Structures are given as C-alpha cells and as structure tokens.
C-alpha cells in the first residue's frame, strides 16, 4: 500500500476518528501504510490530528467541494454520519449522510481514486419504509453506481465508543445490546453492538485486500477482519 494516499471524511466522528488513528499509527493494521492521509473537515479540528504523521487537514465547505481537494487520492474512507435530532430535519440528515457522501465519491472517482470504503448500517435498504435505513441503502446504491474497482460497505449495528456529542438513545441501545448479545446468534448476530475501532480496522484491512466489486461487511465479518489485522 506504499505510495498511496488515503482520504477520510467524517474524521472527527466515531469511526472516522479511529480510521485516522489506525492509518497514522506506525503499527496499524496491514494496509494502513499510506504516504499521506488527507482529512476533510467542516471546521478546524482544534488540534485533533496534531502529532499524527503525514495527516493533512483541509477545512472545506461540503456544499462547495472542489475536485482539487481530491487530486492524488487513491483510497477513500467515507465515515460521514449524523442523526435526525442533531441535523434538525430529515432533509438535513439526508444531505449529510447521502448527498455529501455521494458527492465525495463522485469527485474522488473523477480524480482517480479506485477504492472506496463506506460506513453504512445494518438493515440498509433503498426500498425500506424506514427513513434512516432507506437513506443508508440509497447511499450505498448511488456510491456503487459510480464504479469504484473496490467498494467496501461496513454495516455495523450500534457503535460502541466515546462520542463528543451525547446520544442517550444510543447508550440505551448499547446497554441492551450488550445484555442480550449472548442470545444474538445466527441471523441475529449482525445486530450485536460493535466497537468503532473494530469497524475502522476492518475497513482498512478490507481496502488493502482490494477485492474487486462490492463487499458488504456485517458484524462477524468486521470482527474477523479486525482480528486478522
């Protein structure tokens, strides 16, 4: 993976933050050896990436992204995400989760990127009646249509980790999920809570493997890939 450049969007979020940490760490997972890491942020991170070798932080307006911001990018890690409560409306939520992600994919592909890793959600389905799951499914569909040689789609359930923002409902989901995870076997295993760091490591490993086409990673796939790294 030498002489490659990675782009991370959503780098100040839970999974995205771990992606940057793993990519920048000298002993990160196999495939994390990139010569340069670019992170696109809406506002200065306040030193979140200070001291991390080869991390180039760019403050951009996601409503006015420029192809120049994507020149030289080989691998993209799209970790943008919010909640309807934080965004303020369904329209604002979709703008972040779908519109920004698809625009990033379009510009990265036009600039020559070949591999794209996307954080989606368990149950993502473009035909779902559930707005959240439908948006996630439509994002997957529209990114896939752009035609990356490798598309990695991580579909975790509830993410475990320390967030900067408070999500009480998610904390309840984590507690419940952990309490009953022993019973989540077979088809229910994909709903087990999972650490954000595990998702990040699995995405990096899967990108490095470079499997052609779309590859969907559910809970057990993510755990296995992260452990292998």
Q: Which two tokens stand for residue 108?
A: 């990265």
Please confirm, yes or no, whether 132 is among the known catalytic residues. yes
b/e 176-209 (16+ beta carbons within 10 angstroms → b): ebeeebeebeeeeebbbbbbbbbbbbbbbbbbbe
**CA 37, 42, 46, 48: dihedral to nearest 10 degrees?**
-30
Q: Which of 52, 95, 103, 132 is catalytic?
A: 132
Find all residues with CB under 8 Å of 42, minimum gap 6, and list them: 59, 60, 61, 62
Q: How far apart are CA 164 and CA 14, in angstroms?
A: 8
Q: How far apart are CA 218 and CA 187, in angstroms?
A: 11
* Token digits of residue 89: 């409306």
The active-site residue out of 100, 109, 136, 190 is 136
Catalytic residue annotation: 132, 136
């Amino acid at each position: 993976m030498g002489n490659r450049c990675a782009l991370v969007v959503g780098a100040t979020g839970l999974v995205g933050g771990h992606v940057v940490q793993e990519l920048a760490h000298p002993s990160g997972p196999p495939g994390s050896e990139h010569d340069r890491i670019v992170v696109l942020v809406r506002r200065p991170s306040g030193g979140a990436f200070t001291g991390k070798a080869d991390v180039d932080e760019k403050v951009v307006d996601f409503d006015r992204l420029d192809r120049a911001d994507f020149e030289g990018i080989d691998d993209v890690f799209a970790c943008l995400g919010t909640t309807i409560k934080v965004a303020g409306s369904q329209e604002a939520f979709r703008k972040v989760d779908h519109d920004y992600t698809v625009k990033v994919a379009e510009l990265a592909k036009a600039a020559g990127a070949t591999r794209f890793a996307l954080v989606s959600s368990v149950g993502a389905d473009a035909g779902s009646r559930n707005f959240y799951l439908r948006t996630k499914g439509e994002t997957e569909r529209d990114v896939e249509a752009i035609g990356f040689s490798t598309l990695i789609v991580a579909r975790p359930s509830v993410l475990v980790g320390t967030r900067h923002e408070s999500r009480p409902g998610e904390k309840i989901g984590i507690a419940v999920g952990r309490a009953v995870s022993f019973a989540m076997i077979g088809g229910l295993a994909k709903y087990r809570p999972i650490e954000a760091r595990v998702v990040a490591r699995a995405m990096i490993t899967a990108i490095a493997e470079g499997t052609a086409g779309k590859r969907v990673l559910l809970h057990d796939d993510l755990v296995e890939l992260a452990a292998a790294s």
